[in-house]
Amino acid sequence: MEQKINNLVTIVNQLKRENIKYALGGSGLLYALGLVNHVNDWDITTEEFKKDIKGALSLFEVEEISSGNFPFASDYKLRILENDQEIEIIGSFSIHSSKGICKIPLVITSEWRGISIGSPESWYVAYKLMNREEKANLLYAFLKENTVNKHIVDMLLNQPLPKVIKDTLVELTT
């Protein structure tokens, strides 16, 4: 079934008009890569300040919601719900690991239907840290079959990650 993206496109077009760097991640990234057939909500990550995002999206009903309980450590999370499409904007996406707070880098790796797409490498790590093994495994298989961006992996290896995740990242690049 084709996923509705019209509200997502409207939101990202507004972010573009305001020169705000963002990337689609989460299950939206998996959908864009053809790895899943359904998206519950669209996750957008950004490094912009919350006030700037709220200002850019002032024409929309933006709700500030909890960034989530442990293991989440992001600066903020905003939600826009329109026509049964939920869009969450995550500021400075970060997750606790056993070694400290891991900042998931915002890297745009491609474009899908005019939407900037985040890094499969980064979201593999995020899903591992969230213990969402099914989604992590989908991205791991994707990365095994496609070119892995060594620069992104190096950025991730500089984060406080558990050894098992670091070892897997190194293995993906060899």
- 45-103 pLDDT, tens digit per residue, is 999 999 999 999 999 999 999 877 778 899 999 999 977 789 999 999 999 999 999 99
Question: Global pTM?
Answer: 0.94
Whether 1 is covered by a domain: the verdict is no
| Selection from 33, 30, 42, 40 nearest residue 134 by Cα | 30
Whether 10 is covered by a domain: the verdict is yes
Block residue for tokens 């005019």: 114
- Residue-wise pLDDT tens digits, 129-158: 999 999 999 999 999 999 999 999 999 999
Q: What total number of domains does the chain contain?
A: 1
Domain that residue 157 falls in: 6-172
Whether 159 is covered by a domain: the verdict is yes
Whether 121 is covered by a domain: the verdict is yes
Whether 167 is covered by a domain: the verdict is yes
Q: How far apart are CA 174 and CA 172, in angstroms?
A: 6
Of the chain, the end-to-end C-alpha distance in Å amounts to 37
Q: Quick one: DSSP state of residue 36? A: -
Token code pair at residue 4: 């509705």
Q: What is the CATH number of the domain that holds 143?
A: 3.30.460.40
Q: How far apart are CA 161 and CA 99, in angstroms?
A: 6
- In this structure, are residues 93 and 104 in contact, taking their beta carbons and an 8 Å threshold? yes
Q: How far apart are CA 51 and CA 159, in angstroms?
A: 27
Cα 134 from chain centre: 16
- In this structure, are residues 93 and 46 in contact, taking their beta carbons and an 8 Å threshold? no
Burial (0-12, 13-18, 19+ Cβ within 10 Å), 47: middle
